[in-house]
Amino acid sequence: MPVRPRVMGIVNVTPDSFSDGGRYDDTERAVAHGRALLAEGADILDIGGESTRPGATRPLVAEELDRVVPVIRELAAAGAVVSVDTMRSEVAEAALAAGATIVNDVSGGLADPRILEVVAATEASYVAMHWRAHSDRMRDFAVYPDGVVETVCRELAERLEATEAAGIAPHRVALDPGLGFAKKPRHNWELLAALEALRVLGRPLLVGASRKSFLGSLLGVAGRPRPVDEREHAHVALVALLAERGVDCLRVHDVRATADALAVVAAMGATTDAGAMWPPGREDP
C-alpha cells in the first residue's frame, strides 16, 4: 500500500511567479507565509527566488541570494525542513549554509553542473527535474519524437548518472518529471498516466502540478484557460489520484487543500501513515 506523500509547500520570494508572484516578495511576508504553510500541514518548505514560468527572465545571482537566504535562515532556525528551489550553485551553497537540507534543482544540474558538486559535499538531498531549456525558450523544446514518457525516462536516467558521478549518494536523490517545462498539455497528462514507467528508475518521485497551465487548459472555455486562482479543485482531485499511485512528495501552493485531500485518501484506506521514503533524515529509505 502506498504511504502518504510528503507535502512540499511553495514559498515564492519573487515578484513574477505565475501563481503568487509579488505576494511574498519580502522576507517578513515570506517567513509569515512559510509559518502558515507549516501550520496547515506542510512537511517541507520550498523557498525560491527565481520564477521559472514560461517567458520569465532570470534575476541576477545577488538578487536571488538576497531573496532566499534570509527567509531560509529564519525558517530553518524555527525548525522547518527547508528546500531551496534554485538552479545556481552559488545559491545552493549559501542556502545550505543557511539551514536548507534539500536542493530542488529544476534543471537537474544542466543549467549549472557545479551544483551537483555543492550538494555532494554535504548531506543534503537533491531533486533532479526533467528540464531542457530556460524559461524564455523552453517552449521551443516541447518536441518528443520518441514519445514523452520514453524520452523523459531516458533523460532523467542521464541526470541520475550525473548525480552519482558527482558523488551524491543515490538514496539522497529524488526525481521530478517536470510538468509544464518544455511540455504541451497532452505531454503532462501522458506523463501522469505513466508514472510507473518512472518508477523503473528506482528513485522517489516528486510531482509539482499545482495550478499549472495544463490544468487551466483542461478547464478552459472557448479556448480561454481557467485563471490560475481557479484551478485548485482540479488539482485536489489530481492530488488524491497521485497519492493512490504512490507519489512520494507533492509540491503545492495550497497546503490545506492538499492535506485535506490526503486525509480523505488515508481514511479510505488507500495510503498508510508511515511517511514517504524521501527525503532521508526522518525515515531513511
Active site residues: 212, 251
Rounded to 5 degrees, φ, ψ at 56 are -70, 145
Report how far apart, in Å, the C-alpha atoms of 10 and of each of 46, 82, 218 are.
Answer: 5, 10, 23
* The amino acid at 70: P
Torsion over CA: 191, 112, 50, 141 (sign): negative
